[in-house]
Amino acid sequence: MEELAQRVLQQTRRQAALTHEVSRTAAVDARTAATTIAAVNRSLSDILAEWRAAERDAQAAEPGSVTAIEARARADRLRDEYREAFDATKGN
């Protein structure tokens, strides 16, 4: 349980640092603030490679461990991102 709490704390600190960096960048360059993460297009091959790595990480981790849970969540998110990107290419 302590390991999970430590990871949550680390992620919270990382998110706070990222938020600070984005806010600082937005103040310097208003054009940067207009670009959202959703607007960034990644190639299908990049998403697929990251998804496969996450699946391997999930398989290699001890079942039920924090590492396994995080890898599974990352793989699920990447699967959804890949599906959305793939569907977008079909629409073009």
**Shared-domain flag, residues 35 and 45:** no
Q: What is the pLDDT of residue 43?
A: 92
- pLDDT the model gives residue 9: 81
Same domain, 7 and 46: no
The pLDDT of residue 44 is: 93
Is residue 31 located within the same domain as residue 48? no
Distance in angstroms (rounded) separating the CA atoms of residues 57 and 53: 6
Split into its structural domains, the chain has a count of 2
* 65 shares a domain with 32: no
Supply the pLDDT for residue 42: 86
Residue 4 sits in the same domain as residue 34? yes
Instruction: Calculate the dihedral angle through the C-alpha atoms of 38, 40, 41, 42, rounding to the nearest 10 degrees.
Output: -100
**3-state percent breakdown (helix, strand, coil) of the chain, nearest 5:** 85, 0, 15
- Domain span holding position 64: 41-92
Tens-of-pLDDT digits for all 92 residues of the chain? 888 888 888 888 878 777 777 766 666 555 544 555 555 678 999 999 999 999 999 999 999 999 999 999 999 999 999 999 999 888 75
Asked if residue 49 and residue 34 are part of one domain, the reply reads no
